[in-house]
Amino acid sequence: MPMQAFSYRDGELHGEDVPLSRIAEEVGTPVYCYSQGALEARYRAYVAAFAGQRASICYALKANSNQAVIRTFADLGCGADVVSEGELRRALAAGVPGRRIVFSGVGKTRGEMALALKAGIMQFNVESEPELIQLSEVAASLGLKADIAFRINPDVDAQTHAKISTGKAEDKFGVPWTRARAIFAQAAKLAGIRPVGIAVHIGSQLTSLAPFEAAFRRVVELAGALRQDGHDIVRLDLGGGLGVAYRDETPPDIGEYAAMVQRVTSPLGCELVLEPGRSFTAEAGVLLAQVIYVKQAEERTFVILDAAMNDLIRPTLYEAWMGIVPLRQPQPGTARIVADFVGPVCESGDILARGRETAPLAAGDRVAILTSGAYGAVMASTYNTRLLVPEVLIRGGAHAVIRPRQDYAELIGLDRLPDWQLPGQNRGSA
Ligand SMILES: *Cc1c(COP(=O)(O)O)cnc(C)c1O
């Protein structure tokens, strides 16, 4: 990343020009902080890398769908990849024009299809034959035609965590690439469908180019066969999945990725769609937390934070390694300890980092959990009746709360008592 979004200055961790302790004091912890400069830098790096190719960049909203984050990208001309009615509404509300929106996902309903058709989206990525038939019906009933790409399952191993691998034959995603020609033939006959391309997305947090290249070669080969069958293949959607460095990974840089894409796909002369999610936002965010207690158990030291698995589930769900650093820079030469960073949630799995070397910490100290801008806040829940975590956007020396912390009345007020439990009712058994 060309800009260093989070760095120590005068011994204090800053986000751009703002000391993060200031945000922690004003908003409280836990809180997610994002650097707008870092978000913009990532988008611009993609644009620069793909400058010689006709590529639409459609940010995969599910990585971080705060309105202010989407708006940051939309203001630069970026499109959106959405996977639900909610995300479609978020994209439109943040100012992404319909013609820059791609709709992915295995379970689109009639209602979602109709909404997207009326919004005039660029393309549906269709993942099954029943979906194809239903989409044709919905489009025809509205007097429209849906531009579609088939998401094919190329059956390649993305060499990533099983829970974020999507391109193996055993995964639920896409249509088997071996069935693609039959499905295209069927699609070409449907009244509400205009088949325009092929889509592929094999997984997330890929740290090598080889699985991408294997998948893209399969797509190109298939596109050639489909053209011979008489289909007008004009668009290739290459999905997202580029990894980031959480620890010591060395993901391919965007320039190498773009060069490989050009090498593999340029003979077809297709328009490209790219759907980056994680690589747009992960490194632009941190989660701030405060130490509640340091608990010395017989065999281990537990640093108990006020952030937990409900705020950031990646370590629990994907066994993800996330860097944790104190907001106040330790003096050089400070002896280090080994500790487990855990949250207050009543689950043994509520561990943010295990056996981690750290400068000694005490109650009241604050830390930042690094590289938390993707699949962090969006996966937060209120488990253990903990308030949904707030978010802050930083730009230069300014910061703004882009999602305030819920309050307890709001959270508990979502529930309703049935009338037979209201005061004055006979609450005994019938
Ligand atoms: C999740 C997803 C993406 C984004 O993946 P990242 O690994 O975050 O880049 C792109 N396309 C589709 C279809 C997805 O499901």
Q: Which two tokens stand for residue 137?
A: 């019906």
Q: 62: closest CA among 278, 206, 208, 254?
A: 278
pLDDT tens for residues 247-264?
999 999 999 999 999 999
Residue nearest to atom 11 of ligand 1 (CA): 239
Whether 78 is a known active-site residue: answer no
- C-beta 87 within 6 A of ligand 1: no
pLDDT surpasses 90 at 171: no
Pocket test for ligand 1, best of 87, 274, 275, 281 (most atoms within 8 A of CB): 275
Question: Of 33, 58, 270, 346, which residue is the catalytic one?
Answer: 346
In contact, 67 and 34? CB cutoff 8 Å: no
- C-beta 276 within 6 A of ligand 1: yes
Please report which confidence band the pLDDT of residue 103 belongs to, taking 50, 70 and 90 as the band edges: very high
Mean pLDDT of the chain: 95
Q: Which two tokens stand for residue 222?
A: 């298939």
pLDDT tens for residues 116-137?
999 999 999 999 999 999 999 9
Residue nearest to atom 3 of ligand 1 (CA): 240
pLDDT surpasses 70 at 153: yes
In contact, 244 and 283? CB cutoff 8 Å: yes
Q: 388: closest CA among 308, 332, 330?
A: 308
- C-beta 376 within 6 A of ligand 1: no
Please report which confidence band the pLDDT of residue 428 belongs to, taking 50, 70 and 90 as the band edges: low
- C-beta 190 within 6 A of ligand 1: no
Q: 327: closest CA among 39, 26, 36, 23?
A: 23
Residue linked to tokens 């269709």: 126
pLDDT tens for residues 348-367?
999 999 999 999 999 999 99
Ligand 1 atom closest to the CA of 278, numbered from 1: 8
Report the topology of domain 2-33+282-412. Answer: Lyase, Ornithine Decarboxylase; Chain A, domain 1 (2.40.37)
Q: How far is the CA of 114 from the centre of ligand 1 (A)?
A: 23
- C-beta 277 within 6 A of ligand 1: yes
Q: Does domain 105-274 have CATH number 3.40.50.261?
A: no
Ligand 1 atom closest to the CA of 243, numbered from 1: 7
- C-beta 151 within 6 A of ligand 1: no
In contact, 5 and 283? CB cutoff 8 Å: yes
pLDDT of 158 reads: 79
pLDDT of 1 reads: 42
For residues 261 and 282, give the distance between their C-alpha atoms in angstroms, rounded to a whole number: 23
Q: What are phi and psi of 41, to 5 degrees?
A: -60, -40
Ligand 1 atom closest to the CA of 204, numbered from 1: 7
- C-beta 79 within 6 A of ligand 1: no
- C-beta 372 within 6 A of ligand 1: no
State the amino acid at position 180 in one-letter form: A
Q: Which residue has the higher pLDDT, 179 or 353?
A: 353
Please report which confidence band the pLDDT of residue 195 belongs to, taking 50, 70 and 90 as the band edges: very high
pLDDT surpasses 50 at 41: yes
pLDDT tens for residues 208-222?
999 999 999 999 999
Q: How far is the CA of 404 from the centre of ligand 1 (A)?
A: 27
pLDDT surpasses 80 at 223: yes
Q: How far is the CA of 393 from the centre of ligand 1 (A)?
A: 23
pLDDT tens for residues 372-403?
999 999 999 999 999 999 999 999 999 999 99
For residues 42 and 97, give the distance between their C-alpha atoms in angstroms, rounded to a whole number: 21
Q: How far is the CA of 125 from the centre of ligand 1 (A)?
A: 12
- C-beta 104 within 6 A of ligand 1: yes
Please report which confidence band the pLDDT of residue 3 belongs to, taking 50, 70 and 90 as the band edges: low
For residues 365 and 343, give the distance between their C-alpha atoms in angstroms, rounded to a whole number: 15
For residues 199 and 235, give the distance between their C-alpha atoms in angstroms, rounded to a whole number: 8
Q: Sketch the domain layout of the chain as residue ranges.
A: 2-33+282-412, 105-274
Q: Which two tokens stand for residue 288?
A: 């701030």
pLDDT tens for residues 316-330?
999 999 999 999 999
pLDDT surpasses 60 at 224: yes
pLDDT surpasses 60 at 2: no
Q: How far is the CA of 136 from the centre of ligand 1 (A)?
A: 25
Q: 311: closest CA among 204, 408, 384, 243?
A: 384
Q: How far is the CA of 421 from the centre of ligand 1 (A)?
A: 45
